Structures are given as C-alpha cells and as structure tokens.
Amino acid sequence: MLQRILRILGAMAIVGALAACAAPAPSPGAGGEAVSVAAGDAAAPSSPSGVLIVALPLDPNSINPPNAADRMAGNVINQIFDSLLEVDNVTNELRPSLAPEWTVSEDGMEYTFKLREGVRFHDGSPFDAQDVVATFEAGKDPVNAYASAYANVTVEVVDDYTVKLKPSTPDVTFLRSLVGYNIISAEQFAAEGNAGIEVRPIGSGPFKFVEWSKGNRIVLEAFEEYWDEGKPLVQQVIFRPIPESSTRLAAIQTGEVHIINRLSADEARTLEGVDGVELITYPADRVYYIAFNNLTTGVGKPTEDVRVRQAMNYAVDRQAIVDSLFGGNARLSAGFVTPWNLGFDESLQPYPYDPERARALLAEAGYPNGFTIGMACPIGAYTSFEDVCQAVANYLAEVGITLEGGEIEFLESGVYWDRQSKKELPPLFGDSWSAAVGEALPRLVGALGGWQESYSAWSDPEIDRYLAAISSTFDVEARAALYKELQAYMYENPPFIYLYEPITFEAIRSAVKGYAPNSVEQYYLKHVYLAE
Amino acid sequence: MQRYLLMRLGQSLLLLFGALVLVFWMVRLTGDPAALLIARDFASPEQLQEMRTALGLNDALHVQFIRYTGDVLRGDLGYSLRFRQPVREVIFAALPITLLLSTLAMAIALTVAIPLGVIGGVSPGSWKDSLARLVGLLGQATPTFWLALILIWVFAVNLRWLPSFGVDGPHSFILPAFALSIGAVGQLVRLTRSAVLEIRNEDYIRTARSKGLSPFTIGLHHIARNASIALVSVVGIQFTYLMAGSIYIESIFAIPGIGWMLNEAIRNRDFVLVQSLTLFIATFAVLIHLATDVIYSVLDPRIRHR
C-alpha cells in the first residue's frame, strides 16, 4: 500500500516538474515588421502545386479567430481567413486585403471601408458588409477568449460594400489592429454559430480548411476562387505540431517538414551546413528588462532615486550576458521602443558597462556602500532568463547592491504573473514584453500605466503625459516625434534596467521560396512556393 | 477469496480518493489558471476577472473541491478549457493511441526479455547469461527520452528508414514503441532470469528430472508455470510504468496520446483536464493492479487462502 502511494507521489512529482516548464502564450493580434527575406531565385509556379509542410512548436488551442490564444493558432488562421487589411511583411506597411480603400475621420473615431466586390467564401457565399457585421457579432460572444476586443467596436453598414467601424475609445493603433480581425462568413455564423466555426472554419482566405486531427495535423487545401489573382502557390499546406525541438531539428533534416521555428541559437548552429536546409534569423519585437516598482513594494526604496536607477543600468554588462548566454544573438536595448516600432530613435546607445560610474552615482545618491533590495524572476517562462537574472544580480552585487534574503526569489511563471498582476512582486522583477501592432504603445502602457494597468508597477507623471499624447495623436509623423521624445526621457529616467531583444531562429528547406515571417513570427503562406 | 477481493477493492477506492484530493490541491498550487489562459500582453484586468468568474475560480476552494468531487462521482469529468470539449471525449480520442503504443512496447519487451531471461537462467555463468545480464542492466539504466533521440538520429535522420515524428501509419509506432520498451526489457530480463535460476534449484525440479522427464517438459510445466507467477505481477506494474513513460515518448515523437495530452494540459494550465486526466490514469493503474492481484491469486492458491 505504502509503496503504491509512493508510486503515485512519484508520478505527481513528474507532473510538478513538467508544470515548471510551462511557457507563456504569446499575445495574439496583428502586427508586422520588415525582416530579411530569402528572395525567390526560381520562378513561381503558374498554378498551385506541391504540398508545403510546416512544423508548429505546439498544437493551436483553436482556429476560431476570437479564440486563438497563441501565435501558432494565429498563423493557421491567417491562411484560412482574410482581414480588411494586411501587413506587408517586407516593407512593414499596411496593405489592402478585403478593403481596398479606407478613410479615417478627423477625430479618429470613424473608419470607413470600401469592401472588395466579387470575393467568395470557401462555402461559395459572397462577401459583403453583412460579413463584417457578423465578424464582430460572433467575436463578442463571451464564450470567446478575446470577446472584449470585439465588443469595443461598433459596425455600421452604409451599403452592401461600405462599412463604418467605430472603436469605443480613441485608439491610434486601431487601423493596424484590424489586421488581426479575421472576417468570417455571416452565412456560417447564422447557421452554425461559434461552435460551428470552431470545428469547420470557413473564411475567404487563400487556403480552405480540410481536416484537423488534434495533436497530429491540420490540413488546408488551395482555394481556387481566391480573389488575389495567382495566389496561393502551393496546392496543400499541412501543419504538423512537434512540441520537442530536437524532433523538429530531425524532421527538417529528413525533409519531413519544410519549415521549423522557435529554435535556440545552439540548435540553429547544429543545422549550419546541413544539405538542403537554410537558416532564417530575425530580431524579435520583444524587450527583456528588470522592472522597478514605485507603486507598492518599491515605495521608500533607494530605487525611487533616478541616480540609483541610472547606476543600476550602468552596472550591468549586457554585452557579456548576451555573449555568454545567447552566443551574441540578441540586440542590446536602450529603451522600450525597438527598431521595428514607429519612432525608434537609433541615436540612443544602450547604457555602457561602467561600474565606476555606477558607484559614483550611487555615492551621489547617498548609497556609497550600496543597499539591499528584493528581486524576483520567473522560472520556465523564457529561454535562459533564470541565468540572465542571476547574472544581473551578480553585476549589481559588484557595485554593492545585494539581494534581500541573499538570493533572487524564483517563482513558477503562473504564480509569478499572478503576483505581478496583484503588484506583489519585490521592488526589482524581471520579465519581457512583446508588441504586435508595429508600435511600442501597448508595451509602454502595459508596463508603465500605473495603477490602472494590471502588470504595471511604475508610475511617472511625465511618462503618463507622453502616453496620453501618443494615444490621442492620430498623425503618424507627430506620433513618431512623441515616441522619440519619450525614449530620450525614459533613457535619462529609466523605469527599467533595459536588457536585450532576442534574435529568432527558424530553418527552412532550400526548396521553400517566398517565406517571410515578421518580427512577431507571423507569416502569410499565400506567397510561398516550392522550387524543385 | 471474496473477502480478499472486497478488501482490495476498498483499498483501491481509498487510494483513488487520495489521488483526487492530491491532484485537486496540487493543480491549484501552480498559479492562476485564468492569467495563463489569456496572454498577459493582451488581457485587461476586467477580462481576467470575467474569466475567473466564468471558470468558477472565485468560489472558495472547498466549494470548488466539493463541486468537483460530486461531478466526478456522477461520471462527469468536466470540460477541457484547452480543447473546448468534454474531458471524456478528449480522453477517449487519445486513449487508443496510448494503449496501442504501450501494448506494442510490452509485446516487444516480453518477446525480447523472456527468452533471454530463460536462456540466461538455465545456464548461469555462460556467455548467454552474461548477455542477458548486460541487457538487463542496460535496459534499466537507459533513459527512454535519450534512447528516443538516439533512435530518431539513427533510423530517421541517418538511415531514413522510419519517420521521426507523428502518426502516419503503423510504421510511425516502431521507434516510439522500442524507445518506450527499454525499461521494461531490462526489468523483465532480470526478473525472468532470477526466477528461473531460483526455480531450477527447487526440490520438485530435481524430482521431475529424476523421474526422467524431458528438459522441455520440465521447462514448460514446472519452470515456466512457476516463473510466470513472478512475471504476472511485474507485467501489470510495468504496464502502468509504460503509460507513465508515454508522457516523454509521446511528446518527443509528437504522438497525440494520453501522455502528450497531459503535457499539453499542464503547459496550458488546463487544470480541469490535468486533474481529470491524472485521476483517469490513477484509476487505470489501480484497475491494473487489482487485475494483477486477481490473476496472481488464481495462479498461486496460497495467496487467496492467506
């Protein structure tokens, strides 16, 4: 009996250990920044041919657009559905998709779209204004994970091929975010509801849904009546979820799959020089940082002094961390705006490693011998981030800043984000934040929005003013200028120890042409073909 | 006999209830499922709150526990948040795959281990025995996930004989089943060998031999029958180990069975699926043990009379 209980306890320990490996789901939504593209050197076929097999690191949770909780789900959905607008993954510009023309009202509260005529859904039904209405109607059903994103938009039908979209609050990124609202068929929604879309999604996209054998394969077939002349270029797309990265590495070498992603730098290195395999690298639009807190646990701590925060930025050797842990494969951050974001200020250089300067600043602030402060980091959330945190703590110790309890408080990521949302983490905590709308605004507001934002631990009236101004400036040039000013301010008054933006590694078979993922791992497979 | 079985049944039910309690509370130690179901970069605090209410996470823990226990007793394993399907449907879609894989692995283990163990046991000290002992040791010492990666590297990447992942037909199960069987091979070789070794020195074997029975008859009727008692109990336990081993093997080979599903459920904080799946696996293990006890008592009269 005892032996059996022990056996069950053993099994539970395995369960616990696996839970610690959980990774966070990346945010969904539209996005896109230009990245290097392997230019096609063979001519594209005149009609769809061949079977393209794409490995996914995980099985999508759902392929009903308002339920897609992770990037991989979004990538399957993007091949089945169209949106009103799409992003050119090479130039990073907004492009018409189902809406060839649009106008925006002065105040940014009304968006009028002319809809493309003659477009058909996979079930043969024609596309018109009613489908846009149905999309938001279906999306805001509370059964969906992202219902509130749909509930915030009102749709007004002007005529069969003209609609007005009205966001409930002014949103400068609204146009860009529309890339993430995939248009469903009103006919299907009326007949089958969300449950029907969940099992048999019908879109107007380049590929139609054939079959989903959960955990094994998702099969899509070229849609002959696709409105974009000459697309798609492959006859079939098959997505194969392969959770284990070593297995993905094997499958690309055997040619069982054509595209694999989410590789570490080390894993990518093993593919160098492998016959028939090419590596693709691009910087991710994700900033890693150690956050300060001036709302709860950090009140009254030395980190409220700007000189201390500057000192801590000087104290960390980012380059050494990135070199030793990522083989140099990351971009050092000088702020919260990345090169892929609107208004990026390239003149700002990352804080240099200067422990002398750090000590001097600390002395000036009245802490010549440093101080002791609490720090926390998540476990199992990000590649090597535990080691990054440890390295940061060691650099801080070199200038006299030691940790409360003598060590970093490492927490399992689920518990970590729970405590982060309650603002209960220690005054220093590590994390990262992506941005999927081509601008840093969501990242900035999310991490610096003060009390009203659940994951923010920082409030600075000057930053608040900038964020308010950016959020209400619909002119793109003017907004870019505001981002530049804010970067300069946040460089001098750092609310974070800025760390790095990682580089993403993917691998493709050499036969794959026209594959261009953007900095948030999104891609459109209608441009992809197989050269034989 | 009946009293013995009733007692075992009672123990099993108690064990299952213990598993239920443990799983329920441990799943809740890993953090807020709602926060993980919605991506942090995208969700507002209101959305999180809505989610918690919808999932019943705002009720007191003991209320949640009583509700869950009641549901389980009524045969309702809940609704999987990850798969958006009743847990029962999700489990029954994955179960055949895992059963097939485990059965294949067990078949491989028995086919390799029993002959090797018997050969080693009847001629101790010979080179055949050394081979059996080596296989036994290596089998038990080799981690299945390591062997899985080596098999992929040799048979898929280099020789291109077999697929490296997925379920595309019967050949997809060959590498996973071999990798999964290795631990069972090790233990069964050692066990068969030592059982045979022990039995061949028994008085009744000497008697049989002196009666002039052929070695084959002795082997089949006296040695094999008695060795099988030891084997039966271990085969049952090994089968539950194989099911547990499928957590690694299915994830490495991207095979959508119970092990893959448990991994997926844990990664996505689908706490309903984690607790129901664990309970299901525990029930399965308990049933196998119960069946083992019954078979055992049929094979060995001493046990049922005890």
Q: Which of B22, B84, B281 sits opposite A198 (nearest CB)?
A: B84
- CB A247 to CB B164 under 8 A? yes
- CB A446 to CB B11 under 8 A? no
Best mutation target among B8, B9, B40, B239 (most A Cβ atoms within 10 Å) is B40
Distances (CA, A) of B258 to A364, B85, B141, B238: 61, 15, 25, 17
Range with the poorest average pLDDT among A62-66, A167-171, A475-479, B48-52: B48-52
Best mutation target among B164, B237, B248, B252 (most A Cβ atoms within 10 Å) is B164
Identify the residue whose tokens are 């860009």.
Answer: A176
The pLDDT, as a whole number, for residue A22 is: 32
Helical axes B174-199 vs B144-151, angle rounded to 10°: 130
| Contacts B32 to A, Cβ<8 Å | 414-415, 417-418, 421
DSSP string, A305-320: SHHHHHHHHHH--HHH
Q: Which of B47, B251, B281 sits opposite A243 (nearest CB)?
A: B251
Tell me the average pLDDT across A425-441: 91
Question: pLDDT tens digit string along A476-506?
Answer: 899 999 999 999 999 999 999 999 999 989 9
| Contacts B40 to A, Cβ<8 Å | 24, 27, 417, 455
- CB B156 to CB A254 under 8 A? yes
Tell me the average pLDDT across A329-349: 93
Q: How far away is chain A from the Cα of B142, in angstroms, using its nearest Cα?
A: 18
The pLDDT, as a whole number, for residue A14 is: 37
- CB B41 to CB A142 under 8 A? no
The pLDDT, as a whole number, for residue A40 is: 45
Read off the tokens for A375: 């720090």
The pLDDT, as a whole number, for residue B35 is: 64
Best mutation target among A254, A420, A448 (most B Cβ atoms within 10 Å) is A254
Percent above pLDDT 70 for chain B: 91
pLDDT band of B38, cuts 50, 70, 90: low
Q: Which of A1, A15, A25 sits opposite B278 (nearest CB)?
A: A15
A11 pLDDT above the threshold of 60: no
Tell me the average pLDDT across A427-436: 91
Q: How far away is chain B from the Cα of A64, in angstroms, using its nearest Cα?
A: 11
Question: pLDDT tens digit string along B177-208?
Answer: 999 999 999 999 999 998 888 888 888 888 88
Q: How far away is chain A from the Cα of B132, in angstroms, using its nearest Cα?
A: 28
A297 vs A457: CA distance, rounded Å: 9
| Contacts B268 to A, Cβ<8 Å | 22, 25, 61
The pLDDT, as a whole number, for residue B2 is: 75
Q: Which of A59, A145, A412 sits opposite B31 (nearest CB)?
A: A412
Q: Which residues contact B15 (CB under 8 A, 6 or more apart)?
A: A1, A4, A5, A8, B282, B286
Q: Which of A1, A213, A421 sits opposite B11 (nearest CB)?
A: A1
A259 vs A514: CA distance, rounded Å: 12
Q: How far away is chain A from the Cα of B226, in angstroms, using its nearest Cα?
A: 25
**Nearest residue in chain A measured CA to CA from B268:** A22
- CB B266 to CB A215 under 8 A? no
The pLDDT, as a whole number, for residue B53 is: 75
User: pTM of the predicted model, to two decimals?
Assistant: 0.83
pLDDT band of B41, cuts 50, 70, 90: low
B125 pLDDT above the threshold of 90: no
10 Å CB burial of residue A17 (0-12, 13-18, 19+) is exposed
- CB A145 to CB B38 under 8 A? yes
| Contacts B278 to A, Cβ<8 Å | 11-12, 15
Size of interface A-B (CB pairs under 8 A): 187
pLDDT higher at A284 or A117: A117
CA atoms A326, A331, A336, A338: torsion sign? negative
End-to-end Cα spacing for chain A: 62
Q: Which residues contact A263 (CB under 8 A, 6 or more apart)?
A: A245, A248, A249, A271, A505, A506, A507
Q: How far away is chain B from the Cα of A140, in angstroms, using its nearest Cα?
A: 12
